[in-house]
Amino acid sequence: MKLNDAIMLVPTVVVGGISVFKRFLSPSDQLRIVGDLRQVAARAPIFSPKTKMGKPMSVRLTAAGDFGWFSDHQGYRYVRQHPSGLDWPEIPTSIMGIWKVMAAQAPDPECCLVNYYGEGARMGLHQDRDEANFDWPVVSVSLGDDALFRVGGAERGGKTASIWLQSGDVAVMGGAARLNYHGIDRIKFGSSQLLKDGGRLNVTLRVVK
Ligand code: MD3
Ligand code: FE
């Protein structure tokens, strides 16, 4: 047994069944991950997916891993290639390490979704249910500007709770919370100096198949 196996992770706060580890990543961890995400975006440029109605989403995105995420008039889905037709880059080891700590019992994630929130971007309440197996958690990493995260229950229209997510926070959505409605109401643009042009990056790691 490695000594580290005995170290239990205790979340700072649990909101709507979601475990939030405040400032889990040090400023230097955050800088390394942002550098790795810039390399991902150099190979798989950030794009604005279109909703079913043909409107561009305010959140822009890219991905790494076996699958990325895409949306157009046909709806939302995981796809094997970036819109350019090229494969998604590999998931950076700096980000994979967070999964190994937070989801040690789960298989490796197949999608590392990267959301970018510029000024005014938001994400409406939704469920993540395009994955084949909801037994595996989703792990989220917040970088850059503060974001007001809202989480409800597994039914639309129920009570919700809110929490500000800050740069370096890690959140784990597992168990019953895996199908909870959630979204980002707004960001506090310019509240962090991590990204030179401001805004917020959110990374989510998912097992897709
Ligand atoms: C709760 N992203 O990409 S991450 C998404 O901050 C998404 O960009 C938000 O929702 C963001 O789908 C929130 C936190 C999160 C991610 C997945 C979840 C919360 C979740 C899945 C189930 C329940
Ligand atoms: Fe989501």
pLDDT confidence of residue 1: 61
pLDDT confidence of residue 2: 61
Q: How far is the CA of 140 from the centre of ligand 2 (A)?
A: 10
Please determine, looking at this structure, whether the domain spanning 13-206 carries the CATH number 1.10.8.10.
no
* pTM score, whole prediction: 0.96
Q: How far is the CA of 2 from the centre of ligand 1 (A)?
A: 32
Is 80 exceeded by the pLDDT of residue 5?
Answer: no
pLDDT confidence of residue 4: 65
d(CA 11, CA 151): 17
Q: Cα 92–93–94 angle (5° rounding)?
A: 90
d(CA 158, CA 130): 22
Write down the mean pLDDT value for the chain.
96
Q: How far is the CA of 137 from the centre of ligand 1 (A)?
A: 11
pLDDT confidence of residue 52: 85
Nearest-CA residue for atom 8 of ligand 1: 202
d(CA 192, CA 111): 26
Residues shown for the chain? 209
Q: Which of 12, 13, 25, 58 is nearest to 194 (CA)?
A: 25
d(CA 72, CA 108): 28
Helix (H) or strand (E) holding 93: helix 93-102
Domain ranges within the chain, ordered by starting residue: 13-206
- Is any atom of ligand 1 closer than 6 Å to the C-beta of 15? no
Nearest atom (ligand 1) to Cα of 18: 1
Which of 149, 182, 201, 206 for mutating ligand 1's site (highest number of atoms within 8 Å of CB)? 182
Is 80 exceeded by the pLDDT of residue 91?
Answer: yes
pLDDT, tens digit, 9 for 90 and up, residues 178-198: 999 999 999 999 999 999 999
Give CB contacts under 8 A, 24+ apart, made by 67-72.
67/110, 67/111, 67/208, 68/44, 68/111, 68/113, 69/111, 69/113, 69/130
- Is any atom of ligand 1 closer than 6 Å to the C-beta of 202? yes
Is 90 exceeded by the pLDDT of residue 24?
Answer: yes
Strand, helix or coil for residue 183: strand
d(CA 27, CA 43): 25
Strand, helix or coil for residue 94: helix
Nearest atom (ligand 1) to Cα of 61: 3
Nearest-CA residue for atom 10 of ligand 1: 183
d(CA 157, CA 146): 25
- Return the ligand number nearest the Cα of 113: 1
- Is any atom of ligand 1 closer than 6 Å to the C-beta of 19? no
- Is any atom of ligand 1 closer than 6 Å to the C-beta of 178? yes
